[in-house]
Structure 1
Amino acid sequence: MFRFGTAQWGGSRGDGKTPASRTPVSAMQSFWGLMRAYWFSDRWREAWGLTLVVAFLTAFSSKVGVWFAVASGELVNSIAYFHSPTNEAPLASLLSNAAFLVALVVFKDAGITGTKSFVSATLHRRWRAWLNSRFNDALLDANHTHFHAQHGADTAPDNIDQRIQESIKGMTGGAIGLAMGVIAVASSVFFVGQKLLETSTEVRGFEFLGEYGGLVFALVAVAAYVPVNTWIAVRLGGLLERLSIRMQKAEGSYRGELSTLLRRSFHVASAHGEAVQKTMHERLYTEIDRTWGRLNWINAGYGSFERIYNFVGARVVAYGPGLLPFIHNRIDLKGYITGAELVNSLISQCSWFIHVMPAIATLRANSRRVIDLAQAIESVQEPVNFYRLTGDCEFRYMTQNPVFGLAIHNLRLSHHGHGSEPFLVCDRLGFRRGEWTFLKGESGCGKTSLIKALNGLWPYGGGTIAFPEGVTSFYAAQEVKLLPVTLKELVCLPQGAENHNDATVAAALHKAGLGEFIEHLADETRAGKSWDQLLSGGQKQKLVVARIILHKPGLLFLDEATGALDPESKIAFHQAIRDNCPGVTVISVMHEQAPPRSASGEEFYHSVLTIADGVATKEPMIPSLPPELTEILNRPPQAADGWLHIPRRRLRTSSQS
């Protein structure tokens, strides 16, 4: 992990607004907020333009559906009266009606529906891309939201990658499909109802209804048939929603473990841990299989229910309202067939909710996953307040005159849980400008935790940490993970490649001992492998040196950053920093009992910070420090002294891991 800048938690942004009101996903913490965010964003013209086109095509398709019902009646009528003496051109009438019906189908399905599918797919693609960018910006901000969101012990969302990819994709596609269905229902009810009203006739025995008898019968049939079955669909849909959420969690956990295995494949192989890993996979997949089995039962039952519902609606209920008028010669066969097709169309459209219940269940499950992530992002915008929910967090990050370097006062580091006893105590520490400090202690004593706390990446504990104002910092850890970008971009991180010319980057690589790769600055891969795959552990740590040389930070944290280097390379690592970063303050964690010296025997480090029995104490390696510097090192950081102040704005940071 690398950081450039200084970490600051809490406090005001200096603009009178809370951080929660400024995140890109602030408006997406509820279902309707998530649904409408795109349409009220800076992309509103694009969103509404595509939506209106989809709405128009959907409504027009409903109108064509009415024409289809009328054409079906004409075709059936031409068949029924094919041998009628009054039919002067039976074959021509039959063929023309059939041709018109086929042309109508082609126009509706290939023309209108095809165009609507393309436009709706474009809307889906644009909406998903916008949401992806919003969550990308929210997670990868200067607040390290991606880090904090995963380290909230009680509220950390699982499988963030799945939520951003699969859940957003499924949610946006499902929402667009359901919206199109709503428009289709509304437009069909209007157009079909209009046609039913136009063709409605008096029903014998119900003369008091007048000429609206046929319309009333049709509406009563729909009202009696659809709601009861909709209630059944809602109950089944609730089961589908709960099982869908459970299935997504199980799938995400299994996929996450597979991804982790690929990253630690060497460690599993070297430890012969395949049997344990296999058992873990089997346990995770058992949950998938069990949930999938229940989903299959519910889906199969729902499918059977839907097929029976469709048959009864299309072949029984739809033909019922016009039966009495037809028996009593109030309407002819053509009118009967046309009316039945219209009622069937109305039932079909009003049954849209039943047909899409599985899609609604999936939409709700996906949206719940996305909303939970948005809420988690919001909750960590004030990290101190966020961590206080699950433990003690009383850190204060300040700045002071750079002359006095880095200062620590009354630092206590603890673990999750309120009232947890501190495992590391630092009462008063100071690191002057240009001082190199060697941090040592037994494994597990808290060396790395201290480095993380100084960089705002340890959640629990408290104390005051004063950074030298205007000084950039760089945090280098033992494990180096490289992004799939060009070699120049890797050296320039966290800044952009455009901020440095090739000659400067090449010089940094040469000084770091990676001169053999200078000619590949513009390459993302070499010999078919990414730089993360190609470079050894030692070469990756030399790449870190190149970054340090290029950026020349004033404050450098080395957390076992030379663990993969041999003794000679460790000396070269330190010498490169000493020669190219004058005045840098270094705090370094190493496993060695004594820090390396230069080739001439000169000490790189001026002091040693020892952690023993939970207490950190600092002593000079070179005892002859000037009295005035000794006084500064022992001076606590207090605002009353005049050189310490709380910044008005949170300092910006950037990181790469």
Structure 2
Amino acid sequence: MCGFWGLMRAYWLSNRWKEAWTLTVVIALFTAASSKTSVWMAEASGELVNSIAYFHDPGNANPLATVLGNAGLLVLLVILKDAGIIGVRHLFSTTLHRKWRGWLNGRFNEALLDPNHTHFHLQHGARDQDGAPLAPPDNIDQRVQESIKGMTGGAIGLAMGVMGVATSLFFVGQKLLETSTVVAGLEFLGVYGGAILAFAAVAAYVPLNTFVALKLGRILEQLTISIQRAEGSYRSELTTLLRRSFHVAAARGEVVQKEMHANLYTDIDRTWSRLNWFHSGYMSFEKIYDFLGARIVAYGPGLLPYMHEKISLKGYITGAELVNSLISQCSWFIHVMPAIATLKANARRVSDLASAIEKVQRPAEFYSSTGRCDFRFGSQHAVFGLAVRDLELLHEGDQEAPFVTAANLRFRRGEWTFMKGESGCGKTSLLKAINGLWPHGGGDVVFPEGVRSFYASQDIRLSRVSLKQLVCLPESHLGHSDAATASALHKAGLGEFIEFLSEPCRDGKCWDEVLSGGQKQKLVLARILLHRPGLLFLDEATGALDVGAKTAFHQAIKDNCPGITVISVMHEASPPKSATGEEFYDSVLSIADGVAVKHPLRTMLPAELTTILEQPVAASRLGIPRLRRKDGTGQPIG
């Protein structure tokens, strides 16, 4: 489903093929009926012009009634075609558009939100076969929404145009052959001389101008892609601004933000200007083409037979209307060339996204193009807990320079481990690697079999859903009762919000705007208490809480999640304790000089701690910076 034609036919070959083909057949039938009605309209136009031309003819007994009758018939045919056939066809075509877009949108959502975390991997760059860097797809939201909508709608319109051309060639061509006559100088063609002359005029006029339109269409396609990319970047920056609005206001960064917006819009304006120039030129080309086709080319083929009195005025007008109808239908590509350019631009945006999604379906192969990726994940009996062996973490492009190594780490069932180390030493990276969210490096990670894990990070973004849905994530709220959800909220310290459990907002604001940073972390605690995972990763998940709230956070997990294994990253020098002074944590995992070492947590006397801190080897193994004496100028000694 990556290429253009794969995207085009996927819906018709899916499990909803009956729906797709039924709508397609109905649209085709209405398109054929529209083409046939065009023939009837051409005949009625000839009758109307003929009745007007012979209005004063002595043999015309009732000229006014004849004119009004022919005019009324033409009006009825117009109403039948435009209001009946075209209107109903539009209803079916828009239904097909809605169904196809919905199916395709669902497919992309399934691909992005699969258990493989494709949406996460998709935001990382790769390299091609020659080693050149490949940027990740930009503005994924725009591609999934606007580009898919534009592509599906444009493809349906293009298909209806092709069907219209085919049916018009059949019905109009059939009528031209029926009304054809001998043409002076072309007697060797017999009675088909008039029809062949008409077909020749169309064949000479339409393809040449279509070639010109194709050349202009390619330029329009490139400009359309450029403006889509520019507008998507601008919209993305506006969305990002609203998400960090407080930080911009607090830092008084409006001036810099305005400069960013101005630079982004300059790109839009420049591309838009070029696009307008080409649209204006194309519109002028199209108007001149339509006029010459309807007033010169259409009336040219029948002029010679009419001059030699081989056909009547009525036949001449009817033939000209048929040729004009044929030109109009065959010129459909010219009329919709800007739309085709937009269709191709949208299709390229969508197909590029589909190709990028396919590449990251195998993360190990994908990341291997930018560095080493040799992580192996397995499972073992739950009694043995979590094990990490021979783990090395690398940055993109590095092959043999790991910034974190872990020879052998084991986390027993029910064990609480406190992870410590200087900022930037790789604590969060280690947690991500254990959870399969770090791209480069290698090693073995063996999870306890049948144990659910939960990852709680410091940065929390809440979706625009009800409070109950937020608490029940990552599961559906339908699987949890209101009482259980309310109980989890109460235990987490958010009992004041229980009455708003089913509300998606409060006072017109979504929960992401209502709750403070500390309350959001308590909301995550409510999720933990509701789901009771067996393995919990806390990545600075209490950074917005005060000392008392941190203690309550840990105590709630201790009391309500028996047997849970906890691995926690915190900025504190020592792990928190309960209100009675008891230790929550059983062990410490320290990272120093790029080496991760785990050891039991020991309560030391101040003298013992000072001794360890003054021993560089022991301090390094414990992940504690060595204390160094300083001279009078503040410079370290030794």
TM over 0.5: yes
Task: Tell whether the 8 Å contact from 1:236 to 1:302 is kept in structure 2 after alignment.
Answer: yes
- Residue in structure 1 matched with residue 486 of structure 2 by the alignment: 506
CA-CA distance at 1:155 after TM superposition: 4.7
Task: Tell whether the 8 Å contact from 1:229 to 1:354 is kept in structure 2 after alignment.
Answer: yes
Residue number among 15, 32, 45 corresponding to 1:72 in the alignment: 45
Alignment gaps of 5+ in structure 1: 1-27, 625-657
Aligned residues: 597
Residue number among 88, 94, 101 corresponding to 1:128 in the alignment: 101
Give the Cα separation in 2 of the matches to 1:403 and 1:206: 96
- Residue in structure 1 matched with residue 620 of structure 2 by the alignment: none
**Quick check: 432-441 or 229-238, which moved more?**
432-441
Residue number among 327, 349, 352 corresponding to 1:347 in the alignment: 327
- Residue in structure 1 matched with residue 305 of structure 2 by the alignment: 325
- Counterpart of 2:415, as a letter, is E
- Residue in structure 1 matched with residue 282 of structure 2 by the alignment: 302
Give the Cα separation in 1 of the matches to 2:205 and 2:218: 21
Deviations 1:73-99 (A, max 9, x none): 111111111111111111111111111
**Quick check: 145-154 or 188-197, which moved more?**
145-154
- Residue in structure 2 matched with residue 234 of structure 1 by the alignment: 214
- Residue in structure 2 matched with residue 536 of structure 1 by the alignment: 516
Whether 1:56 aligns to 2:29 is yes
SS of residue matched to 2:123: helix
Residue number among 520, 535, 539 corresponding to 1:555 in the alignment: 535
CA-CA distance at 1:500 after TM superposition: 2.1
Deviations 1:510-569 (A, max 9, x none): 111112222222222222222222111111111111111111111110000001111100
Whether 1:395 aligns to 2:368 is no
Whether 1:47 aligns to 2:27 is no
Give the Cα separation in 2 of the matches to 1:352 and 1:447: 62
CA-CA distance at 1:189 after TM superposition: 0.5
- Residue in structure 2 matched with residue 597 of structure 1 by the alignment: 577
Matches within 5 A, 1:180-191: 180-191=160-171
Give the Cα separation in 2 of the matches to 1:107 and 1:280: 54
Whether 1:94 aligns to 2:67 is yes
- Counterpart of 1:85, as a letter, is P
- Counterpart of 1:422, as a letter, is P
Residue number among 64, 82, 102 corresponding to 2:55 in the alignment: 82
Runs of 4+ in 1 over 4 A off after TM superposition: none
Task: Tell whether the 8 Å contact from 1:438 to 1:608 is kept in structure 2 after alignment.
Answer: yes
Give the Cα separation in 2 of the matches to 1:199 and 1:442: 91
CA-CA distance at 1:408 after TM superposition: 1.2
- Residue in structure 2 matched with residue 114 of structure 1 by the alignment: 87
**Quick check: 526-535 or 278-287, which moved more?**
526-535
Matches within 5 A, 1:463-482: 463-482=443-462
Give the Cα separation in 2 of the matches to 1:503 and 1:308: 72
SS of residue matched to 2:357: helix
> What value does the CA root-mean-square deviation take over the aligned residues?
1.3
CA-CA distance at 1:622 after TM superposition: 2.9
- Counterpart of 2:460, as a letter, is V
Deviations 1:546-602 (A, max 9, x none): 111111111110000001111100000001111111111111111111111111111
- Counterpart of 1:114, as a letter, is G
Give the Cα separation in 1 of the matches to 2:518 and 2:476: 24
- Counterpart of 1:42, as a letter, is N
Under a length normalisation based on structure 2, what TM-score does the superposition of the two structures give? Answer: 0.92
CA-CA distance at 1:152 after TM superposition: 3.3
Give the Cα separation in 1 of the matches to 2:400 and 2:272: 42
- Residue in structure 2 matched with residue 316 of structure 1 by the alignment: 296
CA-CA distance at 1:298 after TM superposition: 1.0
- Counterpart of 1:544, as a letter, is V
Closer/same/farther in 2, CA of residues 418 and 440 from structure 1, 3 Å limit: closer
Task: Tell whether the 8 Å contact from 1:155 to 1:376 is kept in structure 2 after alignment.
Answer: no
SS of residue matched to 2:436: coil
Whether 1:382 aligns to 2:362 is yes
Residue number among 291, 316, 325 corresponding to 2:271 in the alignment: 291
Give the Cα separation in 2 of the matches to 1:321 and 1:137: 57
- Residue in structure 2 matched with residue 521 of structure 1 by the alignment: 501
Give the Cα separation in 2 of the matches to 1:331 and 1:617: 100
Give the Cα separation in 1 of the matches to 2:484 and 2:279: 62
Under a length normalisation based on structure 1, what TM-score does the superposition of the two structures give? Answer: 0.89
CA-CA distance at 1:604 after TM superposition: 1.0
- Residue in structure 2 matched with residue 460 of structure 1 by the alignment: 440
- Residue in structure 1 matched with residue 415 of structure 2 by the alignment: 435
SS of residue matched to 2:537: strand
- Counterpart of 2:168, as a letter, is S
- Residue in structure 1 matched with residue 2 of structure 2 by the alignment: 29
Give the Cα separation in 2 of the matches to 1:272 and 1:421: 40
Give the Cα separation in 2 of the matches to 1:304 and 1:391: 54
- Residue in structure 2 matched with residue 209 of structure 1 by the alignment: 189
Give the Cα separation in 1 of the matches to 2:458 and 2:192: 82
Deviations 1:176-227 (A, max 9, x none): 1111101110000001111100110101122111111101110111111111
Whether 1:256 aligns to 2:229 is no
SS of residue matched to 1:150: coil
**Quick check: 229-238 or 464-473, which moved more?**
464-473
Closer/same/farther in 2, CA of residues 420 and 368 from structure 1, 3 Å limit: farther
- Residue in structure 1 matched with residue 145 of structure 2 by the alignment: 165
Give the Cα separation in 2 of the matches to 1:623 and 1:573: 22
CA-CA distance at 1:270 after TM superposition: 0.9
Give the Cα separation in 1 of the matches to 2:468 and 2:196: 75
- Counterpart of 2:370, as a letter, is T
CA-CA distance at 1:623 after TM superposition: 7.5
**Quick check: 495-504 or 284-293, which moved more?**
495-504
**Quick check: 310-319 or 273-282, which moved more?**
273-282
CA-CA distance at 1:420 after TM superposition: 5.9
CA-CA distance at 1:484 after TM superposition: 1.9
Give the Cα separation in 1 of the matches to 2:156 and 2:80: 23
CA-CA distance at 1:294 after TM superposition: 1.1
- Residue in structure 2 matched with residue 18 of structure 1 by the alignment: none
CA-CA distance at 1:144 after TM superposition: 0.8
CA-CA distance at 1:252 after TM superposition: 0.8
Deviations 1:599-645 (A, max 9, x none): 11111111111222222222221389xxxxxxxxxxxxxxxxxxxxx
- Residue in structure 2 matched with residue 148 of structure 1 by the alignment: 121
**Quick check: 512-521 or 303-312, which moved more?**
512-521
Whether 1:586 aligns to 2:566 is yes
CA-CA distance at 1:151 after TM superposition: 2.1
CA-CA distance at 1:37 after TM superposition: 0.9
CA-CA distance at 1:139 after TM superposition: 0.8
CA-CA distance at 1:418 after TM superposition: 4.8
Whether 1:608 aligns to 2:588 is yes
- Residue in structure 2 matched with residue 641 of structure 1 by the alignment: none
Query: RCO higher in 1 or 2 (8 Å CA, sep ≥ 6)?
Result: 1
Deviations 1:215-244 (A, max 9, x none): 111011111111111110110011111111
- Residue in structure 1 matched with residue 388 of structure 2 by the alignment: 408
CA-CA distance at 1:125 after TM superposition: 0.9
- Residue in structure 2 matched with residue 628 of structure 1 by the alignment: none
Alignment gaps of 5+ in structure 2: 127-133, 605-638
Task: Tell whether the 8 Å contact from 1:29 to 1:374 is kept in structure 2 after alignment.
Answer: yes
